[in-house]
Amino acid sequence: MTSKHIYLKIKYSILFPLFPIIFIMGCCISIMPLKQWADIAVGKSIYDLIALATPYEKKVWWREYSIPNGNRVFVQPMRKNCEIYWEVDQDGFILRYTLHGSGCE
């Protein structure tokens, strides 16, 4: 074998086992508690959240309704038995939220 073949063999024998580890770590790091994720979303545009809808949200889809103070409430389905009720001002910015359902814990 040439030195190039040896180099490639060593390179791939080191990199190949690292890929699953990096993939698993990336998935675990990105999982955040629902309440913490919702806290971060307050102050942002509701339309940005709707644009990032997950497959479950696209299947069940969002609902919205008006409330007496002039704001709107958007209901985001997160998973089975869990929804986030976002109160949004007239410009589309999230003011507050409440978690509803036993699946939100």
pLDDT tens digits, 3-55: 766 766 665 665 555 455 555 545 544 577 889 989 999 999 999 888 887 77
Q: What are phi and psi of 38, to 5 degrees?
A: -65, -40
Does the structure show a pLDDT above 80 at 76? yes
pLDDT tens across 50-63, in order? 888 777 777 778 88
Tokens of 35: 């309440």
1 has pLDDT over 90: no
Cβ-based neighbours of 12, under 8 Å, separated by 6 or more:
none
Q: Is the pTM of this model over 0.75?
A: no
Tally of residues, the chain: 105
Burial class (CB in 10 A: 0-12, 13-18, 19+), 88: buried
Per the DSSP assignment, residues forming a β-bridge with 73 are 65, 87
Instruction: Tally helices (H) and strands (E) across the chain.
Output: 4, 4
State both tokens at 53: 């809808």
**Distances in whole angstroms, Cα of residue 91 to Cα of each of 14, 61, 70:** 52, 21, 11
